[in-house]
Amino acid sequence: MEDRDYRVAFPTRGSILGAAELAALADLVNSEQMLSDGRWRSAFEHRFRDHVGSRHALSVTSGTVALELAIHLADLRPGDEVIATPQTFSATIHPLLDRDVRVHFCDIDPATLNIDPAQVEATVSDRTAAILLVHYGGYPAEMERIVAAAHRHGAVVIEDCAHALGAVRHGRRPGALGDIGCFSFHNTKNLTTLGEGGMLTFDRDEWYVRLDRIRSNQPDVVCRIPQSPTPPPTPLLPWMRFSGEVYAYDYAQILRAGTNATMSEAAAAVGIVQLDRLAELAARRREIARRLDDCLGRYGQIRLHRPPEGVTHAYHLYTFFVEAGQAAREHLVKALDRSGVEVQLRYFPLHLTPEWRARGHRLGECPQAERLWFDQQVNLPCHPGMTDAQVDYLVEAVTAALDETLPPTGPTGLDERAAARA
């Protein structure tokens, strides 16, 4: 697609910022409190933990950093095997390129675009150290079977929840379905913290200690009590005890260097407001998705990305499938583009990208992911910043493009559709 203005485009921002966020920022600035590592960050983490239903929530500077740290917590060793989905953004699994591990790309369920639990059950073994998956587009993965299979073999399940804020699976939220949840608050996501930000959610207390050290510029270590401790120098003043801390332990092993991954207080303050608004923002996405479902569902050669009862889709991405063949999909996409509707195809199967081909992965490895991406998959705009007029135009443009592309099938013929639009 050429770079141009669209009448209905994908969002420059995935969420809406307004007066409430500005008020929170003014409160922060006028408070004269610290702008880093302060009460807003702690409050955001506690609120987020309660929202997800996890024991801990720890904020970082981006979703990518959250994934890097989650993979670190998996304690991968040379020769370990990792199961991953091919249908996700590259950041989900990029940290694995730095590790001497064998990656198994596990094919997807064509109904959900999530990793196929049956494929996971067939692939997991005692050599599997971790499973990395995404809740594609905000459609929660079938976690019960995946987690059960992983835990039978001692593997850690890492959820990439970048799309999943607003989703629910049988009363539970992504981020508390596996062992570690990783969230992104990037500019394009369902909740944003001024452009960048991330969160990890999990239950293990020892992981909180390790992650808190790493994000605060301290190394992740295995400690031991010194056998013959060196007496620390006498502090210059009674409160100058840093030297005592230095000599309290020796490091038996350094697992990872620390870094500065501290979410700013400004980002956290906005995050709190955005979390308060999440239900409203998610409802708008679902409303737009329902309009599109009603439109697309009248066409027999279109398949919807619609979850079953008990599962709530977050609609970070609105996806559908053209089952009339590659040529029909191409015709439809071009017709929509001509009408001023931006169309995306997310995401290119990762096992076919150059970095993973360099690790031995090839075409044919994940036939479902390949078939759906190359032949059927379409993503349409669906975000709370869309006006009612844009939604109306989107539905009209999709209907016109489908009438042009697909022959009338089933009980609703072309004339009946035209009458319904009149």
Residue-by-residue pLDDT tens, the chain, 422 positions: 456 789 999 999 999 999 999 999 999 999 988 999 999 999 999 999 999 999 999 999 999 999 999 999 999 999 999 999 999 999 999 999 999 999 999 999 999 999 999 999 999 999 999 999 999 999 999 999 999 999 999 999 999 999 999 999 999 999 999 999 999 999 999 999 999 999 999 999 999 999 999 999 999 999 988 776 666 667 777 777 666 667 778 899 999 999 999 999 999 999 999 999 999 999 999 999 999 999 999 999 999 999 999 999 999 999 999 999 999 999 999 999 999 999 999 999 999 999 999 999 999 999 999 999 999 999 999 999 999 999 999 999 999 999 999 975 544 444 444 444 43
Query: CA 311 to CA 166: how far, in whole Å?
Result: 11
Q: Which two tokens stand for residue 76?
A: 């991968």
CA atoms within 13 A on the CB side of 276: 13
Q: Which two tokens stand for residue 135?
A: 């809740």
* Phi (first) and psi of residue 260, to 5 degrees: -100, 100
Sign, CA dihedral 351-352-354-359, equals positive
pLDDT, position 4: 76
Beta bridge partners of 321: 303, 377
Q: Which two tokens stand for residue 109?
A: 């369920």
* b/e map 69-92, b = 16+ CB within 10 Å: bbbbbbebeeebbbbbbbbbbebb
Query: CA 307 to CA 233: how far, in whole Å?
Result: 64
CA atoms within 13 A on the CB side of 235: 11
Question: Which is nearest to 54 in space by CA: 68, 70, 39, 71?
Answer: 70
Query: CA 368 to CA 373: how far, in whole Å?
Result: 8
pLDDT, position 420: 43
Q: Which two tokens stand for residue 185?
A: 């608050």
pLDDT, position 351: 98
